[in-house]
Copies of this chain bind each other. A is one copy, B any other.
Amino acid sequence: MTNIIPNISVDCVVFGFDGEYLNVLLVERALHDDSGNIVFRDHTLTGYHIDRDENLNEAAHHILKERTGLSDIYLEQVFTFGDKNRLLKERDQEWIRHLNLKIDNRTITIVYYSLIDNTKVKLTDKGDNPNWFPIHNLPELGFDHGEIIEKALEVLKIKARMEPIVFELLPEKFTLTQLQKVYEAILDTSLDRRNFRKKVAQMRFIVALNEKQKGVSHKPAQLFFFSREVYERTKKDRYLITI
């Protein structure tokens, strides 16, 4: 990253689901003075300035890998943030001066998002101390990254209602309780169990197996799987709002 463009960056909002809660991947931003004493410490999304020779999505993948070790995950563009005052808070200015990166105050950032099972990936600390934080208990955030997370969450909620993305967070065989938990975590709401099951029953792509849970202390529940084939062949043009 020797040839960065000083006024264009990418930021990645990686959402992780752990079976119960929705989390966000953050890295640490710690500013030390010349004697090595800490001036401040907070957190930011994984991001950096793009390289002159990279496409935008290449930059997102490259930066995520370099700072957290995550690779080969699906990233999708969400939104671009470029308000003229977005880097002008005192702490952010101090950080920019300290790094001496010749970053332009008028930096715009292209935001990417992702949704993964965060129990299945391993983070690599290359000095930024990357970690998962529950969406409802985020630490203090630098820049406008709080707003960015909010926007990405809004997009995630819409996507979860439109596309079968939740199944990527579930084991191949899942119970309806597990399925309900994913939706509840993403939509940040509690759903009525009976209504939820009625709706699921109408979705022919969620298919019951001839199998029940094993090794559980409670009454074993019915297992289901997501059939992409059925989904592709039964989804209709969603051209009118009836839901």
Q: Does A176 sit within 8 A of B, measured CB to CB?
A: no
Taking CB atoms, residues of chain B closer than 8 Å to A38 are none
Q: Does A235 sit within 8 A of B, measured CB to CB?
A: yes
Q: Which of A125-133, A136-144, A159-167, A212-220 contacts B (4 or more CB under 8 A)?
A: A159-167
A183 close to B56 (CB less than 8 A): no
Q: Does A24 sit within 8 A of B, measured CB to CB?
A: no
Task: List residues of A (185-243) whose CB comes within 8 Å of B's CBs.
Answer: 187, 189, 191, 199-200, 202-203, 235-243
Task: List residues of A (59-95) whose CB comes within 8 Å of B's CBs.
Answer: 77, 79-80, 82-84
Task: Name A105's closest neighbour in chain B (CB-CB).
Answer: B52
B55 close to A237 (CB less than 8 A): no
B242 close to A8 (CB less than 8 A): no
Contact flag A242-B199 (CB < 8 Å), given A7-B5, A187-B237 = yes
A83 close to B108 (CB less than 8 A): no
A82 CB contact (under 8 Å) in B55, B183, B187, B242: B55
B238 close to A161 (CB less than 8 A): yes
For the complex, give the distance between the alpha carbons of A200 and B242 in Å. Answer: 9
Contact flag A240-B84 (CB < 8 Å), given A7-B7, A7-B8, A79-B77 = no
For the complex, give the distance between the alpha carbons of A158 and B158 in Å. Answer: 11
For the complex, give the distance between the alpha carbons of A161 and B241 in Å. Answer: 6
For the complex, give the distance between the alpha carbons of A238 and B61 in Å. Answer: 31
A8 CB contact (under 8 Å) in B8, B53, B202, B237: B8
What is the 8 Å Cβ interface bit string for chain A, positions 17-58, against chain B (1 contact, 0 not)? 000000000000000000000000000000000101111100
A200 CB contact (under 8 Å) in B8, B189, B240: B240
Taking CB atoms, residues of chain B closer than 8 Å to A54 are 84
Task: Name A80's closest neighbour in chain B (CB-CB).
Answer: B80
Instruction: Say how far A192's CB is from chain B's closest CB, in angstroms.
Output: 11
Taking CB atoms, residues of chain B closer than 8 Å to A160 are 239
Instruction: Say how far A237's CB is from chain B's closest CB, in angstroms.
Output: 7
Instruction: Say how far A27's CB is from chain B's closest CB, in angstroms.
Output: 23
> Can you list 5 residue pairs at the A/B interface with Cβ under 8 Å?
A55-B82, A56-B108, A108-B110, A162-B162, A162-B238
